[in-house]
Amino acid sequence: MTDICVHGLGYIGLPTAAIFANSGFEVVGYDIDRDVVRSLQDGDIHFEEPGLDQFVNKAQKSGNLVVTTDVEPAETHIICVPTPFDTETKEANLDYVKSAGETVRDNLREDDLVILESTVPPETTEQVLQPILERSGFKAGEDFGLAHCPETVLPGNMINELRENDRIVGGITEKSTERAYQLYDSFVESDIHKASNPSTAEFAKLIQNTFRDTNIALANEIAILAHGYGIDSRESIDLANEHPRVNIHHPGPGVGGHCLPIDPWFLGHNSDDLNIISKSREINDGMTQYIIKLLQESLGTLSGKKISILGVAYKGNVGDIRQSPGLKLARELQLIQSDGQSQSPMEGTGVDIGIHDPHVSDQTLNLESLDMSISNSDVCVVTTDHDEFKELNPEKFNSLMNGNLIVDTKAILDQQWWENHGFDMIRI
């Protein structure tokens, strides 16, 4: 008998299925995408994550993990499907959650446990998923268990984070909560916190990422203000953080990834009361335009200039480009006409863009080698804090660039070293 059926084999579902399988459970990994399932059956992982291919292959070779396009009855169903963000309405699309709920409903048995892991707006488990499941004729909390246990992992270290990060579980009854707690306790090495209900667990996950996004927005506004005063914002932040009750994050080119730019909006899915949160989103999303403003202040018109962008992954040392500030900057620069005004993407561009990222292999991007991307460039903008970029040598840039301006949005370069080699450096 199958212990666990994981619905959705993406960034969260696949490592979740593998870690349960490697913890001794019999797991079925289900996905509607036949290409994804076929790839996994052949031993190939469909996204980049260090060590995950060996981890998944180990689970499959043990016989504890089977990936398929067919759902099987299981004691526990874990839903890890996407919740796409609608950029126009600023709301979550819950179609995948609803569809997964219908699939679980058709396979639901008495005493089964259903856990929603997908990041969702508050009340989704109880107001969206529960009614779908109860169309089976079973009642949640009495005939089957229902809980929410949000994921809290970052790409690049998923397996360790699944084990080592604290988790939150919230069931619709104490029994549902306890069953979910015992399940995750099989591999989680840190604390598992019990929420009073699924909506509280949903809300807690969202405000974790909202806190980080809002804190970064504060740092970014500080950076903009400090620039006007000629002050190094990072030095000021470090000094401010010497106070035991102050912990300001550092500024940068914006916020990327699938969580921080999106989760804050989920809080407003059924509410009109977002204020500081929506303003923080506006500040962070506006940092690419602020970078363009800095470039224009230094270079005048950007018409005819070549701008090299180093880093299109959304964070250092990973290949994930979701909501990437570097890509956002490139696209906004490509909308600049020869007269320096904004234009539509179809009208051509007056700016030449060179893009380099040693961790990204996306064939749809016009990625170049480091030498090609900086060759004849007027300015180089560092937008991702990869380790490789920390060791960049200004002598190479001197020999290949036309200009001498470096914009270090992550403050990872040795400013004095680069300035000693004749570069003008702007840091955020």
- What local confidence, expressed as pLDDT, does residue 31 receive? 96
- Identify the active-site residue in 5, 205, 306, 380: 205
DSSP per residue over 197-254, as a string?
A: SHHHHHHHHHHHHHHHHHHHHHHHHHHHHHHHHT--HHHHHHHHTTSTT-------S-
pLDDT digits (tens, 9 = 90+) for 26-73: 999 999 999 999 999 998 988 888 899 999 999 999 999 999 999 989
- What local confidence, expressed as pLDDT, does residue 399 receive? 95
Please count the residues of the chain.
428
- What local confidence, expressed as pLDDT, does residue 258 receive? 86
CA-based nearest residue to 31, from 21, 23, 22, 41 = 41
Burial of 384 (0-12, 13-18, 19+ CB in 10 A): buried
28 SS3 class: strand
Residues in the chain predicted with pLDDT less than 70, given as ranges, are 1, 337-349
* Intrachain domains 4-197 and 285-427 with the same fold: yes
Domain boundaries, the chain: 4-197, 285-427
φ and ψ at residue 184, rounded to 5 degrees: -75, -25
The residues facing 405 across adjacent strands are: 379, 424
**CATH architecture observed for domain 285-427:** 3-Layer(aba) Sandwich (3.40)
**pTM greater than 0.95 (yes/no):** no
Q: What is the third-level CATH fold of 4-197? A: Rossmann fold (3.40.50)
Kind of pairing between the strands at 145-148 and 167-171: antiparallel
- Is 205 an active-site residue? yes
Of the CA atoms within 13 Å of residue 284, those in its CB half-sphere come to 29
**Gyration radius (Cα) of the chain, Å:** 24
Amino acid at 374: I
Burial of 18 (0-12, 13-18, 19+ CB in 10 A): buried
Q: At what angle do helices 52-61 and 13-21 cross, to 10 degrees?
A: 50
Amino acid at 80: C
The Cβ of residue 301 has, within 10 Å, a number of other Cβ atoms equal to 13
Token pair, residue 174, equals 């104490």
The residues facing 379 across adjacent strands are: 307, 405
- Identify the active-site residue in 5, 149, 259, 380: 259
Distance CA 107, CA 76 (A): 11
CB 79 within 8 A of CB 9: no
Distance CA 185, CA 205 (A): 19
DSSP 179: H
Cα 379 to Cα 254, 286, 331, 389: the distances in Å are 19, 20, 16, 15
The Cβ of residue 304 has, within 10 Å, a number of other Cβ atoms equal to 10
